[in-house]
Chains A and B, each alone.
Chain A
Amino acid sequence: MDGHATSDDCGYKYRRMSGDAAASIRAEVLGSDVPNGYTTVAQADRIGATLGIRPGRRLLDLGGGRGWPGRRIAERTGCALVLADLPLEVLRAAEPLSAGSVVGRVCADGSVLPFRDASFAAVSHTDVLC
Chain B
Amino acid sequence: MLRECRRVLEPAGRLAVVVVEPASGLDRAALAEAVRLGPSRITTSAPIRDHVEAAGLRVERLEDWTAELRELLLHTLESMRRLERDLRAEEGNDGWDAELSRKERLLEGVEAGVLRRTFLLARHGASSTRA
Residues of A within 8 A of B (CB): 1-5, 16-22, 24-25, 28-30, 37-40, 43, 46-47, 50-53, 60, 62, 110-113, 115-130
B21-45 CB contacts (< 8 Å) to partner A: 39-45
Is there a chain A Cβ closer than 8 Å to B91's Cβ?
yes
Using Cβ atoms and an 8 Å threshold, which residues of chain B touch A17? 91, 95, 99
Main DSSP-derived SS at the A contact region: loop
Contact A21-B90, Cβ < 8 Å, known A122-B14, A126-B18? yes
> Do A40 and B68 have beta carbons less than 8 Å apart?
yes
A1 x B76 contact (CB < 8 A): no
Nearest-neighbour CB distance to chain B for A118, whole angstroms, equals: 5
CA distance A43 to B39 in the complex (A): 20
Chain A CB within 8 A of B9 CB = yes
| A52 close to B14 (CB less than 8 A) | yes
A38 close to B83 (CB less than 8 A)? no
Known: A2-B44, A47-B119. A29 touches B79 (CB 8 A): yes
Q: Which B positions have Cβ atoms within 8 angstroms of A?
A: 1-2, 4-5, 7-20, 39-45, 51, 61, 65, 68-69, 72-73, 75-76, 79-80, 83, 86-87, 89-91, 95, 98-99, 117, 119, 121
Chain B residue numbers with a CB within 8 Å of A129 are 19, 39, 41-43
Chain B interface main SS type = mixed
Would you give the shortest CB distance from B22 to chain A, in whole angstroms?
11
A21, closest chain B residue (CB) = B86
CA distance A90 to B118 in the complex (A): 25
State whether B79 touches A25 (Cβ < 8 A).
yes
Alpha-carbon separation in the docked complex, A123 to B42 (Å):
21
Q: Can you report 12 residue pairs joining A to B where beta carbons are below 8 Å apart?
A: A17-B95, A19-B90, A21-B90, A29-B72, A47-B16, A50-B121, A111-B1, A113-B4, A113-B5, A115-B8, A120-B13, A125-B18
Chain B residues near A123 (CB-CB < 8 A): 5, 8-9, 13-16
| B5 and A121 form a contact (CB under 8 A) | no
Q: Which of A60, A115, A116 has the most CB of B within 10 A?
A: A60
Minimum CB–CB distance from B37 to chain A (whole Å) comes to 13
**B98: chain A residues within 8 A (beta carbon):** 16
**Separation of A130 and B11 alpha carbons in the complex (Å):** 29
Top-3 shortest CB links A-B: A3-B41, A19-B90, A130-B39
Does A25 contact B72, Cβ atoms closer than 8 Å?
no
